[in-house]
Chain A
Amino acid sequence: MRMMLAFLAASVISMVPVTAADLPDGVKPGDIAPNFILNNVDGKRVGLASYLDAKGVILVFTCNHCPYSVKYEDRIIALHKAFGPKGFPVLAINPNDTVVSPEDSFAKMQERAQEKSFPFPYLFDADQNVAKAYGARRTPHVFLLKRTPKHFIVEYIGAIDDNPNDANAVDEKFVEKAIAELVDGKPVTTQTTKAIGCTIKWKK
Chain B
Amino acid sequence: MGCLVVHTISLAGQVSASASTVLVTPQTLDEVMGRLAAGGDTTYVVNFWATWCKPCVAELPHFDKLYREQRDSGVVVLLVSVDDPKELTKKVAPFVRRKAYLPQVVLLNESKPHEWIDRVDPTWSGAIPATLFFRNGRRLFRETEFTFEELRHELKEFMKGSP
Partner-B contacts on A (CB < 8 A): 15-21, 65, 67-68, 137-138, 141, 158-159, 162-166, 169, 171, 174, 193-200
Contacts and interface: CB of A to CB of B under 8 A. Distances in A.
A194 B126 contact: yes
A137 B129 CA distance: 12
A18 B144 contact: yes
Contact of B145 (A15, A65, A164, A199): A199
Given A20-B144, A194-B125, A194-B126, A165 B82 contact: no
Given A15-B150, A17-B150, A158 B114 contact: yes
Contacts of B20: none
B114 A159 contact: yes
B147 interface: yes
A197 B123 CA distance: 15
Contact of A16 (B52, B125, B150): B150
A198 B113 contact: no
Given A164-B113, A169-B111, A137 B123 contact: no
B149 interface: yes
A194 B124 contact: yes
11 contacts: A15-B150, A15-B153, A17-B146, A20-B127, A20-B144, A137-B143, A162-B112, A194-B114, A194-B125, A197-B126, A198-B128
Given A17-B145, A20-B123, A194-B126, 16 more contacts: A16-B153, A17-B142, A17-B144, A20-B124, A20-B125, A20-B144, A163-B112, A166-B86, A169-B111, A194-B117, A195-B126, A196-B117, A196-B126, A198-B127, A198-B128, A200-B127
Contacts of B123: 20-21
A17 to B, nearest CB: 5
A175 B23 CA distance: 38
Given A18-B144, A196-B82, A198-B53, A137 B127 contact: yes
Nearest to B125: A137
Contacts of B113: 159, 162, 164, 194-196
B114 A162 contact: yes
A65 B147 CA distance: 22
Contacts of B124: 20, 194
A138 B86 CA distance: 23
Contact of B149 (A15, A20, A174): A15
A68 B142 CA distance: 21
A137 B142 contact: no
Contacts of A165: 84-86, 111
